[in-house]
């Protein structure tokens, strides 16, 4: 199994707009072969340390690296990327495996 933590930071005040586009894309991702989990998470109120009000983390689990690569190359991910690229400040994607 492959784990992915994608730390995505929107431009100030744009996280809700990015998350709306993200949520619209979730059903297509869940339908992909090899998708086990794909969800966005945000800070719990009062948590410290915190990512902050413009950042969210996508928690993903994939059956294999091949499934993750197919996901990254999918048409719906390309469309999502184009839809939000002008709203994003930063992104860091960590691809991990069980220790």
pLDDT digits (tens, 9 = 90+) for 77-87: 999 999 999 99
pLDDT (tens digit, 9 = 90+) per residue, 26-76?
999 999 999 999 999 999 999 999 999 999 999 999 999 999 999 999 999
Report the alpha-carbon angle 28-31-35, nearest 5: 110
pLDDT (tens digit, 9 = 90+) per residue, 4-13?
999 999 999 9
Burial label for 56, CB within 10 Å (0-12, 13-18, 19+), is buried
- pLDDT for 32: 98
Q: Where are the alpha helices (DSSP H) in the chain?
A: 15-30, 65-72, 75-84
- pLDDT for 18: 98
pTM score, whole prediction: 0.94
CA dist 34 and 91 (Å) reads 23
Tokens of 29: 């991702």
- pLDDT for 49: 97
């Amino acid at each position: 199994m492959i784990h992915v933590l994608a730390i995505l930071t929107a431009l100030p005040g744009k996280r809700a707009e990015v998350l709306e586009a993200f949520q619209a894309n979730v059903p297509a991702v869940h339908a992909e072969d090899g998708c086990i989990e794909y969800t966005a998470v945000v800070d719990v109120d009062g948590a410290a340390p915190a990512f902050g009000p413009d950042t969210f983390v996508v928690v993903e689990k994939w059956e294999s690296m091949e499934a993750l690569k197919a996901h990254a190359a999918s048409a719906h991910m390309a469309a999502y990327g184009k839809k939000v690229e002008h709203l994003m400040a930063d992104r860091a994607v960590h691809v991990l495996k069980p220790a």
